[in-house]
Chain A
């Protein structure tokens, strides 16, 4: 089917969804074209979930500018969109004179970038802030924080959808042509006729850029592997602990999550396979050893999961990593906003990146604000976070609240059912997981997955063999064993 809209955003990850949400402030019809069945399948859901301070990026770079802006915006975004953000601070821990000099340089760069709340602290203060950390001194960044990367992205997308943006999931762009001043974007199921295109395809951005005729970008993958530790460890780590950074790499760090787990990683391995997320055995051991030099509580017995993410870095001929590139090439591809090399700190910077991308469009197109844009994404309080009184009330209003499906994370049937009927129409097992935390606990879905799978069948009228796990043909079950 041919779909008409004023603008199409290719890629529904955190940057694409931030563009969709910010663009939905205007009187425009918007289509978001996403190749995966959900919006957090790639880098947006596969990262450290740290809200960065902005000190680690070159002076004058877009990375520095948008990171600092994104960091400042995060409280407001968290309020509006209802995802968890904790401004817990973070420390970069050093031991040598060279480390000290590097941290001083980092602070000076950060101050020039407009970052605030940066200071050197001595060992005593460091150990007050993070007991058991190994290090003689540190740089403290008070304004750094941690967030829920799944709900940040999902709620941006849902808020965009609520404000009129249409999401086309499982739509992989295969080619783009230009006819009569409009782009025709081809996918195997639908074609899209649009005036404006935003290339927010992340790992696929180079391919989309090529389709738009903007060629010559060299994008490499940098894969980072992570370990996830049990929630019992979270209380021992009040804030992320990093080593002293180099110019291009933050180093393996330990990071508490907003839900109390701890992640260990990432390493950084160059790759040209952007679809391989396997975590090799030697990397797991390497992560454990490296991070144990910073923090002593990393034990194999506490590992509950591993994962990896891939950053798409734009590099020059010499392999030097470049800044974000956000451009409209009027000569080659008018009315196309091209975003290349959106890597870390893309999560922190997503909304400023989106606003900047839209400003490039606004210079060329008369944009009219809608009067009915609603920036608020209502998020129901999690059962796990409710007081006993609130729980009583919730159960009285909907008895599904009294049926616990995931006992590790205390997720109720009411919450699973609501997640199944999410506004984006995501119908995968992991879609439920990212929205509710069910299956993220210590037992890793051992007890709850069967009930969640049944609920997907029942609520959506699916056959058992049609339930999908994450992407593509990731069928969960072969089907019913017997009829009846």
Chain B
């Protein structure tokens, strides 16, 4: 049976929950959240460490605590949601099919909110050479085994990649009695937040080696060890620097990618830089009425910004449903020098919006500049530019002209 909804929200993690609550508060009540896991909360459920909510709530919460604030709000407001409901198809015409143990749910939505989060890059996707024994885990899988399933991944661990989950898992494994040999990072700077380097590695005496990577995996049943090599400035392994580390567990924290399978099915345009949808300042994708926020749009550093962005999305959706947008321009947002990616990637009106960006390298004393046709719209001085951290700039209403692409760059 086809059900009609004003908005269907795909994914009940922090982005979807924040979007749902905000939509409800804006008066959009005919909505439903579809969540594939058996509980709301998304990946926050397995993030039992603290450090969430400092920006938004001014105090340090665990992942489940942060999620529960929104989950309780969803319940209190009586927002409809389905858990164990996996969306298996989405069309550009906003038709949705979800599978649940009670049967198939089919919706036709006036607006679709894509908040499916991200997935971890796997061993295969980063092409780590060697054998394929058991004992090689992505950090998030190891975290789920430990924090959701009460299962211990192994005893003697090496961690590749200094992303936040890898750092958190270094501490988590140590606290549970495993020995963590070291964390290796191929880049010349850590990929995770400074506070995690201090609190998860330094506090436990776990060494972090920059410009190192795993160049071989050994073992034809369970992992027996890894070979680690130094890399040159082009990230190529340097011959003669190989060192063998015996271990039974390799944790990979080698990057996150928006989970875009459904977007690809629906033919939604993606941005090769963020790997998520290419959106305008209303966070609307190339498919009319389909919006996206959170980690499925671009991978965030802090969940606080995921919530904030999703609330901004909710106001866009609410406006879209009530009166639509007055699009009077089709501007691109270009990444200039020093900029890795931006959201949005295009601008279609004079409305004010938040421009999120990531730098492409570590830099000091920089000025971030947003310009249009050589005219400066905004300049911001920053003492440190760190690609691991997302920067958000507010672009005021009416700040952009009707023609001429925007460029974001570093001076």
Binding site for B on A (CB under 8 A): 228, 232, 275-281, 284, 300-301, 303-307, 388, 391-392, 395-396, 399-400, 402-404, 407-408, 410, 412, 429, 442-447, 449-450, 453-454, 464, 468-482
Contacts and interface: CB of A to CB of B under 8 A. Distances in A.
B101 A445 contact: no
19 contacts: A278-B130, A278-B131, A303-B127, A304-B122, A391-B99, A392-B103, A402-B84, A404-B99, A407-B88, A444-B125, A445-B122, A445-B141, A446-B120, A453-B151, A471-B221, A472-B220, A474-B134, A477-B152, A477-B153
Nearest to A444: B122
B153 to A, nearest CB: 6
Contacts of B150: 480-482
A4 B88 CA distance: 50
B215 interface: yes
A474 B222 CA distance: 4
Given A442-B261, A469-B133, A480-B152, A475 B119 contact: no
A446 B141 contact: yes
Given A277-B131, A392-B104, A395-B99, A473 B125 contact: no
Interface in B209-249: 215-218, 220-222, 237
A480 B149 CA distance: 9
Interface in B98-155: 99-104, 106, 119-120, 122-125, 127, 129-135, 138, 140-141, 144-146, 148-155
A408 B261 contact: yes
A477 B151 CA distance: 7
B278 interface: no
B394 interface: no
Closest 3 CB pairs of A and B: A469-B134, A472-B221, A305-B124
B274 interface: no
Given A446-B141, A477-B152, A300 B127 contact: yes
A475 B134 contact: yes
Given A446-B122, A481-B146, A404 B222 contact: no
B120 A284 contact: no
B138 A275 contact: no
B129 A279 contact: yes
B134 A396 contact: no
Interface in B64-114: 84, 86, 88, 97, 99-104, 106
Contacts of B86: 404, 407
Nearest to A449: B141
A277 B220 CA distance: 8
B142 to A, nearest CB: 10
B364 interface: no
Nearest to B148: A450
A58 B397 CA distance: 76
A65 B263 CA distance: 48
A404 B36 contact: yes
Interface of B: 36, 84, 86, 88, 97, 99-104, 106, 119-120, 122-125, 127, 129-135, 138, 140-141, 144-146, 148-155, 176, 215-218, 220-222, 237, 259, 261, 264
A444 B124 contact: yes
Contact of A284 (B125, B129, B131, B140): B129
B151 A481 contact: yes
Given A392-B103, A446-B120, A278 B217 contact: yes
A469 B104 CA distance: 33
A434 to B, nearest CB: 14
A306 B216 CA distance: 13
A390 B99 CA distance: 12
A279 B130 contact: yes
A407 B11 CA distance: 13
Contacts of B222: 469, 472-475
Given A280-B129, A449-B141, A388 B221 contact: no
B101 to A, nearest CB: 4
A446 B84 CA distance: 18
A444 B149 CA distance: 19
Given A304-B124, A404-B99, A473-B221, 15 more contacts: A278-B216, A281-B129, A303-B124, A306-B129, A391-B99, A395-B104, A402-B84, A404-B86, A407-B88, A407-B261, A444-B125, A469-B134, A470-B221, A478-B153, A481-B152
Contact of B155 (A228, A306, A442, A478): A478
Q: SS class of chain A's interface: helix, strand, loop or mixed?
A: mixed
B273 to A, nearest CB: 12
A446 B122 CA distance: 8
Contacts, number: 155
A402 B261 contact: no
A449 B138 CA distance: 11
Contacts of B140: 446
Given A474-B134, A478-B155, A447 B119 contact: yes
Nearest to A480: B150
A450 to B, nearest CB: 5
Contact of B99 (A306, A402, A471, A480): A402
Contact of A481 (B84, B123, B176): B176
Contacts of A399: 101-102
Contact of A476 (B120, B134, B215): B134
Given A404-B36, A477-B152, A478-B152, A228 B144 contact: no
B151 A480 contact: yes
A161 B28 CA distance: 59
Contacts of A482: 150
A276 B151 contact: no
A232 B99 contact: no
A450 B86 CA distance: 17
A324 B112 CA distance: 59
A450 B145 contact: yes
Given A280-B129, A281-B129, A479 B124 contact: no
A446 B125 CA distance: 12
Contacts of A447: 119, 141
Contact of A306 (B127, B135, B215): B127
Most chain A CB atoms below 10 A, which of B88, B125, B217: B125
Contacts of B215: 281
Contacts of B133: 469, 474
Nearest to A398: B101
Nearest to A285: B127
Nearest to B177: A481
A395 B104 CA distance: 8
Contact of A395 (B103, B119, B120, B152): B103
A232 B149 CA distance: 32
Contacts of B261: 407-408, 442
B122 to A, nearest CB: 4
A408 B120 CA distance: 13
A462 to B, nearest CB: 12
Contacts of A279: 129-130
B72 to A, nearest CB: 26
B152 A232 contact: no
B131 A276 contact: yes
Contacts of A407: 36, 86, 88, 261
A304 B220 contact: no
A470 B221 CA distance: 7
A231 to B, nearest CB: 9
A404 B88 contact: yes
Given A402-B101, A481-B151, A443 B120 contact: yes
A391 B104 contact: yes
B104 A388 contact: yes
Nearest to B153: A477
Contacts of B237: 281
A277 B152 CA distance: 27
A402 B124 contact: no
Contacts of B120: 443, 446
